[in-house]
Amino acid sequence: DTAVSQTPKYLVTQMGNDKSIKCEQNLGHDTMYWYKQDSKKFLKIMFSYNNKELIINETVPNRFSPKSPDKAHLNLHINSLELGDSAVYFCASSQVGRGVAGELFFGEGSRLTVL
């Protein structure tokens, strides 16, 4: 049973389109994240949500809007896609205590290609 699952696994779209990536975790964790991995493998934090509340937003353009309907789901919606948005997007979850970081469990990634 997959702990952190993302859909779709692959996404190919044209510049200017709007797309969404969905993420669900069945670990009962309170915190979920979105990371972006570029072509050089660099993993960069985008957002962090704790119990549906946005905690961290790391200078991500407004075209990216995370939505957390409940603490098991964190979706990523991207408007007006640009070539530079091409990357692998990873969802992750973690059970952290107050101010205490812990292991992140990653999904398998969603590879977005913008043409």
Strands 10-13 and 110-114: parallel
Map residue 84 onto helix, strand or coil.
helix
| Contacts to another protein from residues 60-89, by CB under 8 A | none
Beta strands in the chain (DSSP E): 4-7, 10-13, 19-25, 31-37, 43-50, 53-57, 64-70, 73-78, 87-94, 105-106, 110-114
Choosing from 1, 40, 62, 70, the residue that interacts with another protein (CB under 8 A) is 40
Least distance CB 19 / another protein (angstroms): 20
> Of the candidates 1, 14, 41, 84, which one interacts with another protein according to CB under 8 A?
41
Binding pattern for the stretch 5-24 against another protein, x by CB under 8 A and - elsewhere: --------------------
Q: Please, are residues 88 and 75 in contact by the beta-carbon 8 Å criterion?
A: no
CB of 86 to another protein, least distance (A): 17
- Closer residue to another protein (CB): 18 or 103: 103
The Cα–Cα gap between 46 and 96 comes to 18
Residues that bind another protein (CB under 8 A): 4, 31, 33, 35, 40-45, 48, 50, 55-56, 90, 92, 94, 96, 98-104, 106-109
